[in-house]
């Protein structure tokens, strides 16, 4: 019996030695070889978009910046967004969030309580369906309606696939009592 136990002890020692060789030899220096690192997903592609907010000077004075074809009350502000996904929707949602302190002296053009119910894009026309807060929480007045139109049209049409937009509120054409948005409008109609 003692001989059997001695032989088992030697086998156990040999098994440990073989196991150590298996672990230590691949590293070359007695240390286990490190596994290759998995690719890092810590970076994302970024997209620079323009959000058109109301310029404080234009809103306070009621006088927009004149171009050859229009009088604009909105100013583009660049914002970095993570790329991928529905960039148009995410850009419009960023517009709803409004200007940030680091953006400068601008005003929101859309109530922060407004939500995008649906967004469809077909043949160059984006149909954006908003919640009722787009109208109910708006400051009102014809200038606010003009600013809203300029802001949404210029923000959405920066994307080459969008030529014009229509804005709905719970499926009905947007109106603020002064303006009615019942057909697609693009930058040329401002």
Residues 27-58: tens digit of each pLDDT = 444 444 444 444 444 456 899 999 999 988 77
Q: Quote the pTM value.
A: 0.74
175 burial class (0-12, 13-18, 19+ CB within 10 angstroms)? middle
Q: What is the pLDDT of residue 67?
A: 60
For the chain, residues with pLDDT lower than 70 are 1-44, 62, 65-70
Task: Tally the residues of the chain.
Answer: 190
Q: Are 110 and 134 in contact (CB under 8 A)?
A: yes
Count CB atoms within 10 A of the CB of residue 154. Answer: 19
Distance CA 93, CA 116 (A): 8
Distance CA 188, CA 172 (A): 23
Q: Is the dihedral of CA 88, 89, 95, 100 positive or negative?
A: negative
Q: What is the pLDDT of residue 24?
A: 42
């Amino acid at each position: 019996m003692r001989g059997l136990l001695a032989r088992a002890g030697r086998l156990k020692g040999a098994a440990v030695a073989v196991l150590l060789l298996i672990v230590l030899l691949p590293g070359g220096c007695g240390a286990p070889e490190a596994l290759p690192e998995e690719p890092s997903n810590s970076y994302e592609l970024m997209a620079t978009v323009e959000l058109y907010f109301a310029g404080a000077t234009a809103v306070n004075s009621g006088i927009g910046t004149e171009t050859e074809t229009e009088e604009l009350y909105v100013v583009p502000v660049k914002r970095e967004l993570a790329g991928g996904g529905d960039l148009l929707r995410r850009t419009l949602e960023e517009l709803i969030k409004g200007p940030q302190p680091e953006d400068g002296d601008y005003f929101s053009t859309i109530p922060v309580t407004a939500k995008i119910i649906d967004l469809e894009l077909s043949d160059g026309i984006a149909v954006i369906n908003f919640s009722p807060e787009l109208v109910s929480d708006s400051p009102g007045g014809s200038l606010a309606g003009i600013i809203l139109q300029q802001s949404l049209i210029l923000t959405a049409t920066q994307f080459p696939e969008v030529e014009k937009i229509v804005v709905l509120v719970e499926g009905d054409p947007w109106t603020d009592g002064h303006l009615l948005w019942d057909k697609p409008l693009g930058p040329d109609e401002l």
